[in-house]
Amino acid sequence: MTKIVKKLMLFLTAGMLAASCGTVEEFVLLNDLDIDSYYKMQPIHELHIKRGDELRIVVTHKVPALTAMFNKKINSIEDGEALVTYLVNEDGFINFPYLDSIKAEGLTCAELEQTISKKIETAGYALGANVNVRVNNFKVTVIGESGTGIFKFDEPNPTIFDLVAKANLVGNSGGFGGGMGIRRDKILIMREVNGVLNSDYISLLTKDIFYSPYYYLQQNDIIYVWPSQTAIRSSNRIFDFWWSRLSVVTTAISVLTLFLTLFQKKE
């Protein structure tokens, strides 16, 4: 009888440990990365301008007076004096001073810079003007187990790991992150491309992320972070009810086994 109790206690204890403990492969990011190997990264993503983007456009010249009219400024209570931004409308155009409507949707920032520079030159305003274009409202949305938030980026080519750091997605405590409550191997990214919604799952646990087209973020990406099994279990009250009772039973069996073992030794 004692052997049966011992085996039952061992079985239940092992099951509880297996359910509550994780492995390296489940939690450590890039756990299959070989530091002695070289990996060919995805080429740096060329950001393409989309409808709804706000563009910050600065025109400069060796003679500043020739381009001052293109750099309109506004007064903001929060930010002080700032340059006007240009909204890409539903037709994909921006209204730029003295040059009327300019097609922006689908172009990279560099291509739009060249387009504006040529138009300034053709119109006879300034020869050799330099134009700098930047998407001013680059943002991604995070929803799911890690929390909900909108994160903006100033740099033109943010990666998924920039978002991990900014949103503290895998932090174990505090901050925005969900820590042990998220699936590091199942993160859904939804992305609109030419009016079509594309989506795919990525994993932060393996080096395959470096080869994914979703390694570089794009403006208006939506990221859904799946809950881990631990988080799902903790949200299930029925499971919690029986799990807590199983813990009590397991503890009782352990105490009983210990008692029987000591009793047999005395005999």
* C-alpha span between 62 and 229 (Å, rounded): 61
Class of domain 54-135: alpha beta
Beta bridge mates, 144: 225
* C-alpha span between 70 and 99 (Å, rounded): 10
**24-43+138-228 CATH choice from 1.25.40, 1.10.357, 3.30.1490, 3.10.20:** 3.10.20
User: Which tokens hold the place of 55?
Assistant: 């563009």
pTM score of the predicted model: 0.68
User: Which tokens hold the place of 149?
Assistant: 């938030």
User: Which tokens hold the place of 201?
Assistant: 């799952």
Q: Tell me, yes or no, if the two domains 24-43+138-228 and 54-135 fold the same way.
A: no
User: Which tokens hold the place of 188?
Assistant: 């859904």
Report the run of H or E that residue 237 belongs to, with start and end: helix 237-266
* C-alpha span between 108 and 130 (Å, rounded): 16
User: Which tokens hold the place of 164?
Assistant: 């991990």
Sheet with 182-193, strands from edge to edge, namely 149-152, 139-144, 222-227, 182-193, 196-202
Burial of 154 (0-12, 13-18, 19+ CB in 10 A): exposed
Distances (CA, A) of 158 to 28, 140, 179, 202, 246: 22, 10, 22, 16, 47
* C-alpha span between 55 and 64 (Å, rounded): 21
Task: Work out the number of other CB atoms within 10 angstroms of the CB of residue 185.
Answer: 16
User: For every one of its 267 residues, what pLDDT tens digit does the chain have, with 9 covering 90 and above?
Assistant: 455 555 555 555 555 545 444 555 666 777 777 777 777 777 777 889 999 999 999 999 999 999 999 998 775 545 556 778 999 999 999 999 999 899 999 999 999 999 999 999 999 999 999 999 999 999 999 998 777 899 999 887 899 999 998 988 776 443 344 455 678 888 999 998 878 999 999 999 999 999 899 999 999 999 999 887 666 666 655 555 555 566 666 666 665 665 566 556 555
Burial of 230 (0-12, 13-18, 19+ CB in 10 A): middle
The residue with tokens 């740096």 is 44
Domain map (residue ranges) of the chain:
24-43+138-228, 54-135, 237-267
